Every structure is written in C-alpha cells, then in structure tokens.
Amino acid sequence: MSARSIRSTAAQLPTTSFLAIPAPTSRSLCQASAGTRQSLATTLRHDGEKSSNNPPAVRPIPASFPLSRLIKPLVEVRGACQTRPYSSEPRLLSGTCHSRPVLKSSLDFLYLPIVVSLLALVTWAMQDPLSLESSLSAPAEDMSVNVEAPGHVGNLTPEQEEKLRRLWSAIAKLCGVEGAGDNGTTTADTSPGSPVPASEEPDSSQKRRFSLFRRKQVESPTSVAVNVDENKEGADDDDKYGQTKQFLKTLASQTPETIRETIWSMVKQDHPDALVLRFLRARKWDVDRALVMLVSAMNWRFNEMYVDSDIMLNGEGGAVNDEVNGDEDTKKLGSEFMYQCRVGKCFLHGTDKQGRPICVVRVRLHKQSAQSAESLERYTVFIIETARLMLQPPATTATIIFDMTGFSLANMDYHPVKFMIQCFEANYPECLGAILVHNAPWVFQGVWRIIRGWLDPVVAAKVHFTNYRAGLEEYIDPSHIIKELDGDEDWEFKYSEPVPGENDKMKDTKTRDRLLTARAELYGKFERETQAWIRSPFSEEGKRAKAERDKIAEQLHVDYWELDPYLRSRSQYDRTGDILPGGGVDWYKKAGGPRANGNAVHGNGSDAKQASTG
C-alpha cells in the first residue's frame, strides 16, 4: 500500500476513532510492573470496545494531519518493553521496509565484502606455509665481520664481565684450582653503575632453586654441595635433556682433576673466555645454569661420544683402516662413515656475508637404511668439530644450508634431526648462526610442523626458508654461492681419499707429550691470572691480570695448531688445503701459494695468516 493511499484512507476515517485515545509512552510501560502492564492492556481493550459502541466526542482529524502523528504512538507502544534506544525519526511502514528495491540494494552492499573474504580465504588456503614463513623471515643482518658481537670477547658490558668472572670462579672451585676459595667471587669490588639489566637476569619462572657453591665444612675445598628441590621434577623447567641430573652424576663419579682436564680439552684454538661465554649466553647469563650446562656437555664429549679420544683422533684415516682390517662390526661402522664422506652428504665450503663458514647438507642423498644411527651420529659430530676449526674471529657461529632439492619422504629420517637439535641446543651452544632450508618442496611442510615443535624458540628463530638463487643472496654473496646452488662460484665437491703417511706425526708420542706438558703450563698460568682478575678486577693488579690473560689466550691459540697434527687425524679439508697449518682457512685460494697439510707438503708452504680471512 502506497503512502498516498494511506493518506486517503486516513482522511475517510470517522471523526470518532480509537487512535484519538492518548497512548502511554514506552518509558512508562517499561517502568511498570507486569501486573500493571496487564491491567493497562485490559483497560485499553475495554475502552476500545466501548468506543465502537458509544463513540466519544472528539475533534475531527484534518486532511493535512501529518502521517507521523499517526505512526509515532504505535511505534512507541510496540517497542515499549525493549531496552534499546529508539530514534525520534518515524519508521517506515512494513510494506515500505520490505519492498524489493531496498532488499536488492542491501544485498548489493554485502556482496563486495563477502566476495573479498572468500577470495582471501581461498588465497590463504592455497598459500604454501613454507614460502609464507620464508617471506616473513628477516633477512640476514648486514654486520661487519670486523666488529665483535655483543656478549662476546672484546664486547662485554660491565654486568656481563661480572658474570664471566663468577663463572670462572665456579669452574675453579669445581676443578680444585689453588686459591679459588680465597675471595673467589667478586662481591664488594664490583663495577660502579646500574644493576644488571632485566634482559640479562633470569626470568622469574626460571629462578634458581639450587645453589652450586655452598661449601661443605669438613670436606676438601674442591667439594661442591648441590641442593635441589626434590619437590620439583627438575632444577630447571627448561632442562629437557636432563643436564642437571647429568651434572650431579658427573660430580659424584669424576675427580676434580679429571673434570679440569676434560674442560680444558674442549678449548681448541679459541679464547677460553669465548668457550665459557657460549654457555653464559645460552643460559641467559645465569651462572649456575651455565655451569650445569658446561659440565654436562663436557661429560657428553668425554664419556658418551668420545669426541677427542676416538672420533677426531681416528677420523677418516681410522675409518678407512677399519673398513679394511676391522672385525665385522668395526668394518661396517667404518664403511658407513666413509660412505657419507665420499658421497658428500654434508660438506663445508665458503663463508656467508658475516664471515661464517657454510655447511651444505644434501638431504636427497640420505637414506635411513644406508647407515646405522651410530655411524650417522659420529659423522655429524665429526663435521661439527671440523667446522669449529674453521671459525675465524670475530665469527663464532656457522651457517647450515639444508638443500632440499629433490627431497622426498624417502629421505626423511627423524632420528638424525633430533640428534642435531640436541647437539646445538645442549652440547654446542651458540655455535649455530643460521639455518637455511633451501628449495623445500610442498611435501616438506608437514614434516616442518613436527620438527618445529622440537626446537627451542631461539633455535627456531634462526631457521629461514629460501628458494632459488635470490633467496640465498640475502645471506651469501653471489660469488660465494656454488654452481650447484645456482651461484657464480665454479666449485663442486670432490672427495679426496686419505693419503698414506699423512698421520705419521700421531705416532710421535714423545713430541706429543712434550707439547701437552707445555700446554698444561699455559692452562695453569691462565687460571692464576684469572684468579687475580677475579679478586680485584678494577685495581691495577686486576687490569694487569686481565691483559695477561689475553696474551696467554693468544699463546694457547698458536700452541694448539702446533699440537693439532699430533692429536687429530687429517681430514678432507686438510688434504685440499682449506685448513692451513697455523689455523688459517683458505676457501677461495686467495693465498695463491703452495700449502702444507700435516705431513703432506705441497710445495714450500704458505702463510696461514694471509689466508685466514679467505
């Protein structure tokens, strides 16, 4: 019914109408009780019936009577029991509200957002989560390789340096170092300044529940009493590898001198502070937790993996001998180890933009049935330890490229993945700079969801997904990307077999022992100067001791490379001249001269210092 017909009908109404009865307002009805509303409705109904029989005398409605005057009372009565506010403007009649043109325009208004939402949903569903995560990954920082990173040797805040002194003091007590109990910790003689920043303090959820350094009254000064809250599952909520338990077991089974020797055996060519700082950074500068982690990692190396007494001592040459002359089990283990070396399942070559050595893992070459878990673990540790020898200051970490080209589920093996995660999270802390998962196929996204759940958030943040050459160029200079990865460097992996006689120096035990004795004296000097530095770090004596420590650390660096041929079997990287005598690394053969590798001399030798940045 149109508005004109309504007006016409209203004009023809009799002068007596129930519409003339004053209507109650919505506010009055809402405030009335239920009984009052019922009574009012009854009264209105009866009054309406009476008006039809005996109409009251009312004023006639003029023809120009506004339509809103007819509608407004009805609107107020209809909405009387609702609580939402009503507009003072008149509502449209029901016939007008539901007319077809208004409905069509309303649907047209909704079509656009509905279509856009559906398109966005379809796009999101089709998006590859690996490429999405890659697009969200931050590119590599353009840091100068000549600047020490914060929290490293040469770039410590006063608070971090204090934590370093405290950890060295704890190590000295644990190892029974002479004089470690004489004011071994710095308390009164501390650096003036602000307290330790909140970022360097342990989180409240990780507050220490045990003290490692409460001395026993009767036992020797080397004793360490450890009080662990037995009501808790562990001393640390994040101790997923049981390091606290391993720490206590080590203290109970090893003598202080054995612990001392094993800790020092972890120090290779690097500064002793650099090793200790790795554990402090990994445990957010919590000294107690860092000590637990360090001792646990030491025990893993010495009593579980036999890193220095077997894997690095025998190396590739020992594996070749085992696959020829060993018994059935030894022959199998040696053959599996050498198979992985020869096919280049994993190899080290070059550096990224931050000067970190690059390790390339060709995942397509891995088959779970091709080797035992033991040989795979030995091979993994061998590669990690070799990469440590290639670190050139200030770089302290390495970059791993997992080349997923040609990957299928037949190449997936969760055991080595878990082992590598444990290595980098528990036993080689702060050694991982970046992980580049390169050219991962769509099928890998389900695998990644599982693996990511195993990773510590700090390690997970170092994982980046890259595709094609452009993805790698964010982290590696194009001239340092090998052709196998679509780069410019004309280099390919070729395995070089062990050379007879390359490890003859290892038979010279007399020279080896002499060098070890001299190195042990350097350990003692470093410990004595460290104690002097701890006792009075800001006095002239303390400053002198600190400077002397750095000189001794440099001597340890040079001394290690003199001792190295007597302790470590030559590797592929020694034979090809990537690792130079004296600790130099020459990835791109910038030195240009002949190189010497252990006993295998190629020409007249070369200067390792000139090639150290290669």
- Interatomic CA distance for residues 500 and 9, integer angstroms: 118
Let me know if residue 344 belongs to a domain.
no
> 176 and 80: one domain?
no
- CA 172 → CA 184, 289, 505, distances in Å? 8, 16, 33
Instruction: Report the range of poorest mean pLDDT among 85-99, 207-221, 390-404, 496-510.
Output: 207-221
Tell which of 285, 305, 325 closes a domain.
305
Let me know if residue 456 belongs to a domain.
no
Tell which of 259, 280, 305 closes a domain.
305
Record the tokens describing residue 290, joined without a space.
């860092």
Is the pLDDT confidence value at 321 over 70? yes
Is 526 or 226 the better-scoring residue by pLDDT?
526
Q: How sure is the predictor about 581, in pLDDT bands with cuts at 50, 70 and 90?
A: confident
High-pLDDT (> 70) share of the chain, %: 62
Record the tokens describing residue 485, joined without a space.
């990865």
Let me know if residue 443 belongs to a domain.
no
Record the tokens describing residue 253, joined without a space.
């089974």
Let me know if residue 446 belongs to a domain.
no
Render pLDDT for 549-569 as a digit per residue (tens, 0 to 9).
999 999 999 999 999 999 999
Q: How sure is the predictor about 312, in pLDDT bands with cuts at 50, 70 and 90?
A: very high
Give me the helix-helix angle, 287-299 and 243-253, nearest 10°: 70
Q: Answer for the pair 220, 195: CB distance below 8 angstroms, yes or no.
A: no
- Interatomic CA distance for residues 582 and 608, integer angstroms: 6
Q: For all residues of the chain together, what is the average pLDDT?
A: 77
Q: What is the mean pLDDT of residues 38-42?
A: 51
- At which residue do the structure tokens 């001299």 appear? 518
HSE toward the beta carbon, residue 178, CA cutoff 13 A: 6
Q: Answer for the pair 322, 333: CB distance below 8 angstroms, yes or no.
A: yes
Phi-psi label, residue 550: left if phi above 0, alpha if psi -120 to 50, beta otherwise:
alpha
Q: What is the mean pLDDT of residues 591-607?
A: 38
Q: How sure is the predictor about 583, in pLDDT bands with cuts at 50, 70 and 90?
A: confident
Q: What is the mean pLDDT of residues 138-142?
A: 43
| pLDDT for the residue 185 | 44
Q: Answer for the pair 541, 532: CB distance below 8 angstroms, yes or no.
A: yes
Alpha helices in 283-327 (DSSP H): 287-299, 312-325
Q: Answer for the pair 389, 269: CB distance below 8 angstroms, yes or no.
A: yes
Q: How many CB atoms lie within 10 A of CB 219?
A: 10
| pLDDT for the residue 217 | 36
> 576 and 528: one domain?
yes
Let me know if residue 319 belongs to a domain.
no
| pLDDT for the residue 199 | 38
> 62 and 166: one domain?
no
Let me know if residue 55 belongs to a domain.
yes
> 262 and 182: one domain?
yes
Is 108 or 594 the better-scoring residue by pLDDT?
108
Please choose, from the candidates 224, 131, 212, the residue with its C-alpha nearest in 3D space to the C-alpha of residue 177: 224
| pLDDT for the residue 111 | 58
Q: How sure is the predictor about 198, in pLDDT bands with cuts at 50, 70 and 90?
A: very low
HSE toward the beta carbon, residue 55, CA cutoff 13 A: 12
For residue 482, what are the β-bridge partners?
489
Q: How sure is the predictor about 117, in pLDDT bands with cuts at 50, 70 and 90?
A: low
Let me know if residue 349 belongs to a domain.
no
Is the pLDDT confidence value at 215 over 50? no
- CA 562 → CA 2, 270, 582, distances in Å? 106, 14, 7
Is the pLDDT confidence value at 202 over 70? no
Q: How many CB atoms lie within 10 A of CB 332?
A: 17
| pLDDT for the residue 589 | 81
Is the pLDDT confidence value at 204 over 50? no
The helix (run of H) or strand (run of E) holding residue 37 is helix 34-53
> 175 and 217: one domain?
yes
Strands 346-351 and 357-362, sheet pairing = antiparallel
DSSP reduced 3-state for 603: coil
> 117 and 179: one domain?
no
High-pLDDT (> 90) share of the chain, %: 60
- Interatomic CA distance for residues 30 and 278, integer angstroms: 73
- Interatomic CA distance for residues 579 and 8, integer angstroms: 105
| pLDDT for the residue 525 | 98
Q: What is the mean pLDDT of residues 466-487?
A: 97
| DSSP characters over 48-88 | HHHHHHS----PPPPTT--HHHHHHHHHHHHTTT--S---S
DSSP reduced 3-state for 346: strand
Q: What is the mean pLDDT of residues 570-577?
A: 96
Q: Which residues contact 483 (CB under 8 A, 6 or more apart)?
A: 489, 490, 491, 492
- Interatomic CA distance for residues 456 and 63, integer angstroms: 83
Let me know if residue 247 belongs to a domain.
yes
- Interatomic CA distance for residues 20 and 549, integer angstroms: 106
Is the pLDDT confidence value at 448 over 50? yes
| DSSP characters over 165-232 | HHHHHHHHHHHT-TTTTSS-S-SSS--SSSPPPGGGSPPGGG-----S-B--SSS-TT--B----TTS
One-letter amino acid of 141: E
Is 177 or 29 the better-scoring residue by pLDDT?
177
> 34 and 81: one domain?
yes
Q: Which residues contact 171 (CB under 8 A, 6 or more apart)?
A: 177, 263, 276, 291, 294
Instruction: Report the range of poorest mean pLDDT among 9-23, 195-209, 236-250.
Output: 195-209
Which residue range is the domain that position 117 belongs to? 101-136
Number of domains in the chain: 4
Record the tokens describing residue 395, joined without a space.
């770089």
Tell which of 305, 323, 347 closes a domain.
305
Is 599 or 576 the better-scoring residue by pLDDT?
576
> 184 and 112: one domain?
no
> 108 and 19: one domain?
no
Peptide bond into 56 cis (omega under 30): no
For residue 597, what are the β-bridge partners?
600
> 57 and 110: one domain?
no
> 176 and 271: one domain?
yes
Record the tokens describing residue 154, joined without a space.
């040469």
Render pLDDT for 68-83 as a digit per residue (tens, 0 to 9).
444 444 444 444 444 4
Read off the DSSP letter of residue 613: T
- CA 13 → CA 16, 41, 522, distances in Å? 8, 24, 117
| pLDDT for the residue 355 | 96
Q: What is the mean pLDDT of residues 140-167?
A: 80
Q: What is the mean pLDDT of residues 241-252?
A: 94
> 55 and 113: one domain?
no
